[in-house]
A and B are shown apart, each in its own frame.
Chain A
């Protein structure tokens, strides 16, 4: 396949940045999106140019490092898929593809497509932990958890912190990420001691970082590579209201 790429290039946080057009030829439909960018970068390096910087680590959809807005959609239009797991067979030969970094004030661009997501780390630090010694995995029947809660907590726990929810939200809100963590810990017995203070601290940190307010548009869930359910935001709101009224 031959493709035209329009990629955001920005040499550093002080650079204003611009879209630059590249051609890539002989792309195999079996390549992942990142492998396609590798092909471009190898050529750029040979030509003495600066390769396009992008984040990645596992390349198997579990670490949450990769992520870019592809043709206006975070992680591309393929549902429930990280950028590293997106394959070129979903694009047409000759396609023009726009590639941009996550756009949000709390996610400043470090270089090209790489953004600084430390704001997520600070939200976790504010309350995304349990203080009981959790130790090694307990026996399955040692601490009974209702099936419904176990399932909901598990679903929420699959969040990989990629930030696509923020990138896709028209308000630039981090509610889905924060709600996933609050739901995951708050529904399990080990998470009960800090349940109220956690919700309050994490929501306040999220607001302090400069993320926008949630207006329940549902764009986050739709692009989330892990399909974190929208219901987690209701859980976060419920826990937050409970902590505010106690």
Chain B
């Protein structure tokens, strides 16, 4: 869980930084998207980096989900008889309760997102538009519901990471002393918040017309 999660977090950081290039204009963004496909060229064939990333991501997502499903199955086996009274949560932590369903929402989002930005299937610009035009077309004010879905999904990602990052530190045994634990807890929250803000910046600015 922690290892596959770490791969996904690293991808998200790179992806978020890449998205911010939209603020540098169409040429810069398209050039970056092109570079992703041709990096290492001519020594390496086109799409080397992309293909490696894609394989790593598919593996990471699959193993991450497998780990989540096995944990849930173990939990169900460990408590065959349920409580009659609703078990009242005593620990504070909204993010913790959203991990399983939040994860499902994120997967649905990723599917939509690939159809939208990568294949252009559900994008008004279509698959032939440049990456920049696809992004602008995708988040037009008239398509506010797409933007809203992105926003909601990103908040889910933020919650997921907030508990996920902290949980990974705990599973790796890094949170043994109160001072380190508190620092890592704050760190997990800050990284999650920065990622969410970085991701929603582009869609929001396109929707309100700051980026055209």
Contacts and interface: CB of A to CB of B under 8 A. Distances in A.
Contact of B83 (A100, A211, A222, A235): A100
A210 B77 contact: yes
A19 B82 CA distance: 13
A56 interface: no
A77 interface: yes
B78 A168 contact: no
Nearest to B164: A216
B87 A72 contact: yes
Interface string B76-96: 011111111111111111001
Nearest to A10: B81
Interface stretch (B42-50, B152-160, B169-177, B199-207): B169-177
Contacts of A213: 70-71, 74-75
B93 A218 contact: yes
Contacts of A221: 91
A72 B178 CA distance: 30
Nearest to A221: B91
Contacts of B87: 69, 72-73, 168, 170
B132 interface: no
Given A8-B84, A69-B85, A231-B181, A223 B75 contact: no
A71 B175 contact: no
A239 interface: yes
Contacts of B171: 214, 216, 237
A233 B166 CA distance: 13
A170 B75 contact: yes
A178 to B, nearest CB: 14
A73 B71 contact: no
A103 B172 contact: no
Contacts of A236: 173
B79 A104 contact: yes
A215 B69 CA distance: 12
A190 interface: no
A19 B93 contact: no
Interface in A227-243: 230-231, 233-241
A44 interface: no
Residue among B84, B96, B174, B181 facing the most chain A CB atoms (10 A cut-off): B84
A69 B83 CA distance: 9
B99 interface: yes
Given A171-B78, A216-B171, A233-B170, A222 B91 contact: yes
Nearest to A72: B85
Contacts of B170: 216, 230, 233-234, 237
B90 A171 contact: no
B90 A105 contact: no
B167 interface: yes
B88 A235 contact: no
Contacts of A98: 84-85
A210 B181 CA distance: 29
A219 interface: yes
B172 A218 contact: no
A82 interface: no
Interface of A: 6, 8, 19, 69, 71-73, 77, 98, 100, 103-106, 148, 168, 170-173, 210-219, 221-223, 230-231, 233-241
Interface of B: 70-71, 74-75, 77-93, 96, 99, 163, 166-167, 169-178, 181
7 contacts: A69-B85, A103-B83, A216-B166, A218-B91, A222-B91, A236-B173, A237-B170
Given A214-B171, A215-B167, A231-B175, 16 more contacts: A6-B84, A72-B86, A105-B77, A148-B177, A168-B90, A172-B78, A210-B77, A213-B70, A215-B71, A218-B93, A218-B96, A231-B181, A234-B181, A237-B170, A239-B173, A241-B172
